[in-house]
Amino acid sequence: MAQGPGLSTEGRAEEPFWFTESLPPYWDQNLRTQVRVHRVLHEERSPYQHIQVFELGSFGPVLLLDGIVQTAAADEFVYHEMVALLPCLQVGQPREVLIIGGGDGGALRQVLRFRSLRRAVMVDLDERVIEVSRRFLPSVSQGAFDDPRAEIIIGDGQEWVRRFRRRFDVAIIDLTDPTSDGPSNPLYSAEFFRDVRRALRARGIISVQSGSLTYQADWVRKLRATLASAFPYVRLHTAMVPSYQAGLYAFLLGSGRPLQQLTRAAFQRRLDGVTGEPQYLSYDIYRASMALPPYLARVLSG
Ligand code: SAM
């Protein structure tokens, strides 16, 4: 039984059923993805978003916001190691990290793995996303919300980022995709990126989840240009996140200082300062994630 994009599951047919994921307007409109929902674990409408948690068989419990897959228990580590572990390894020994969004707790868990870390400040708009993720996707945060080094702020990332000055080594922008009227839209702007730069220390790094390079290369190109208007050094990394069904997913890094390519030895030294072994990010993946096929390199340089 197909479900329309973003439609509630209330009044749905018997489980299991097919759910059609609504894709952001700038995605290829000739594309739809359907997932088989074995069980609806939770559903509610918060003041900001439609929150759903589905049991999706091979992907396990999955968080959706406004009908779009955000985090799947089975492969969240790919996304969170790229958006959070990578920039922290790139900067070296992060002491203070800012996370804007990240309500599922996956990015927070990654930064708390650094023994050098003193403080992780996470600003998410929607307390309900945090509570629902704690309860239905505990394997994503793994207690990170209760770590004494974590400071959880409920509020708009755009307002909060303006309160910080030269404080953070890394800023992770782990927001919902910009949609026609979503709460994250204003945070994909030059103004917001300039505010983030002011919140970072001189050699600080910003990391931005940047959507699908395969299905929205033009959006990634524009976002990179917007980021480059605030940060002189910008670099693109990519990875495949199976549950996103988005082909190559894009992650942009930005800094006021050159983004050096770490040597294997330097990468390993920095990894020695991290608790546990990464499941996705290795030195070879780090290097490979910077490589682009010529056709996409051409689109991005367009
Ligand atoms: N990995 C996901 C992705 O790539 O689409 C993002 C996951 S995370 C759950 C997205 C978070 O962004 C949500 O918890 C949402 O509440 C938060 N968010 C959206 N707009 C925001 C804003 N203006 N300020 C702070 N958080 C915001």
24 CA to centre of ligand 1 in angstroms: 14
pLDDT for 181 equals 77
Can you give the chain as a three-state secondary structure string? CCCCCCCCCCCCCCCCEEEEECCCCCCCCCCCEEEEECEEEEEEECCCCEEEEEECHHHCEEEEECCEEEEECCCHHHHHHHHHHHHHHHHCCCCEEEEEECCCCHHHHHHCCECCCCEEEEEECCHHHHHHHHHHCHHHHCCHHHCCCEEEEECCHHHHHCCCCCCEEEEEEECCCCCCCCCCHHHCCHHHHHHHHHHEEEEEEEEEEEEECCCCHHHHHHHHHHHHCCCCEEEEEEEECHHHCCCEEEEEEEECCCCCCCCHHHHHHHHCCECCCCCCCCHHHHHHCCCCCHHHHHHHCC
- Catalytic center residues: 174
The ligand 1 atom at the shortest distance from the C-alpha of residue 129 is: 14
Mean pLDDT of the chain: 92
298 CA to centre of ligand 1 in angstroms: 30
Mean pLDDT throughout 6-32? 68
The ligand 1 atom at the shortest distance from the C-alpha of residue 183 is: 20
pLDDT for 6 equals 45
pLDDT for 180 equals 66
The ligand 1 atom at the shortest distance from the C-alpha of residue 184 is: 20
pLDDT for 30 equals 73
127 CA to centre of ligand 1 in angstroms: 11
**In this predicted model, what pLDDT tens digit does every residue of 231-250 receive, in sequence order?**
999 999 999 999 998 889 99
pLDDT for 8 beyond 70: no
The least confident of 14-18, 90-94, 207-211, 255-259 is 14-18
pLDDT for 4 beyond 80: no
pLDDT for 5 beyond 70: no
| Cα atoms found within 13 Å of the Cα of residue 286, Cβ hemisphere only | 23
To test the pocket of ligand 1, the residue of 78, 110, 145, 175 to mutate (highest count of ligand atoms within 8 Å of its CB) is 175
Residue nearest to atom 20 of ligand 1 (CA): 184
Full-model pTM: 0.95
254 CA to centre of ligand 1 in angstroms: 20
Mean pLDDT throughout 188-209? 98
**Which residues form ligand 1's pocket by a CB distance below 6 Å?**
70-71, 79, 100-104, 123-126, 129, 156-158, 174-177, 183-184, 187, 209
Mean pLDDT throughout 164-168? 95
pLDDT for 10 beyond 60: no
